[in-house]
Homo-oligomer: A and B are copies of this chain.
């Protein structure tokens, strides 16, 4: 079961806005319909306000989905909700890229807040 309480945070090293991206290439959960495992990449992009997420705790949080039966769209929105609620960032985006099922590859994008104009070309 996804465990958001595994997430740990540290103070942002700058009062200015900046952008952080963490790409996990080792995400797996289980399809609730077929029981087969799903595999994907999870990209987290955010502009921290007061805190940043600690990298190892993020990895442990992602691992808590390993044997969870959950659809692509729900994985994406759940991670967005957990991270937005616990970090209150200036902006946050979750992108999940899933390996093909039946010849179809999928990608889901959920967001919290709007990307600041200054960063639009980052």
A73 touches B52 (CB 8 A): yes
Chain B proximity of A120: nearest CB distance (Å): 6
B74 touches A104 (CB 8 A): no
Q: How large is the interface on A (under 10, 10 to 19, 20 to 34, 35 or more residues)?
A: 35 or more
Distance of A67 Cα from B19 Cα, bound (Å): 25
Distance of A52 Cα from B110 Cα, bound (Å): 14
* A24 CB–B CB distance under 8 Å: yes
Q: Which residues from chain B contact A25 at a C-beta distance below 8 Å?
A: 39, 99-100, 103-105
A18-B80, A20-B108, A21-B108 known, 6 other contacts, Cβ within 8 Å: A20-B109, A22-B104, A24-B104, A25-B39, A95-B122, A100-B103
Residues of A within 8 A of B (CB): 10, 12-14, 16, 18-26, 28, 36-37, 39, 52, 55-56, 58-59, 63, 66-67, 71, 73-74, 76-77, 80, 93, 95, 99-111, 114-115, 118-122
Of the A-B pairs whose beta carbons lie under 8 Å apart in the complex, a sample of 7, sorted by A's number, is: A13-B74, A21-B108, A23-B106, A36-B102, A55-B102, A59-B102, A111-B122
